[in-house]
Amino acid sequence: MKVKVQNLDSGKGGDIELNDAIFGVEPRADILHRVVTWQLTNRRAPARPARERSEVARTGKKFGRQKGGGTARHGDRRAPIFVGGGKAHGPRARVFVSSLNKKVRALGLKMALSSKAREGNLIVVDNLDLPQGKTKELKNRLGKLGFGKSALVIDGDALNVGFARASSNLESIDLMPALGANVYDIMRHETLVLTRAAVEKLEARFNG
């Protein structure tokens, strides 16, 4: 698959050949759904437990007479109706962890990349160099490049410092290294923008 390479400064910058085994896979909704569900499940923070009646640090001594006091027959101060008592039917400690086969995860990422290429929402740029690293400068160039309402920009191993500084004030742009490329972030953005370095890293990630 041949794609035009754009340049932030002067528009077109040649062509690049994308690996059809990575960018030309037929997308399947069930695979993408499984990978996204797996990601979101593992992102959930553990549930914080509440101390119940047997866990609060209060005396177990019977504080009143069984009969004749005119009150309920409590055995200790750990009852939920007392201040400092245990929580009745409180939340339990839970850890949300899901597992998914490594081959399915890799296939899901290929399908996410292929989906953007198939829809025409994949843009390849030569690099992310900005002479001044200013937000205004970047914003003026985004309209010419067609980044859409929201764009995920993936660079190589290290992020371009000037582009990261310029895009930090733009809500429509998210930036990440190639190592962090994942199905959820790719699918929730309208446009996927890859640098030449990102394409090389992604292809090496699957071929290695």
Give the tens place of pLDDT for each residue, 2-14: 888 888 776 666 8
User: Can you list the residues of the chain whose pLDDT is less than 70?
Assistant: 10-13, 208
Q: What is the pTM of this model?
A: 0.80
Count of other CB atoms within 10 angstroms of residue 60: 9
What pLDDT is recorded for position 10?
A: 61
List pLDDT tens digits, range 83-116: 889 999 999 999 999 999 999 999 999 999 999 9
For 14: left if phi > 0, alpha if psi spans -120 to 50, otherwise beta; the answer is left
Q: What pLDDT was estimated at residue 12?
A: 67
Q: Are 167 and 173 in contact (CB under 8 A)?
A: yes
Identify the pLDDT of residue 201.
93
What is the predicted pLDDT for the residue at 62? Answer: 84
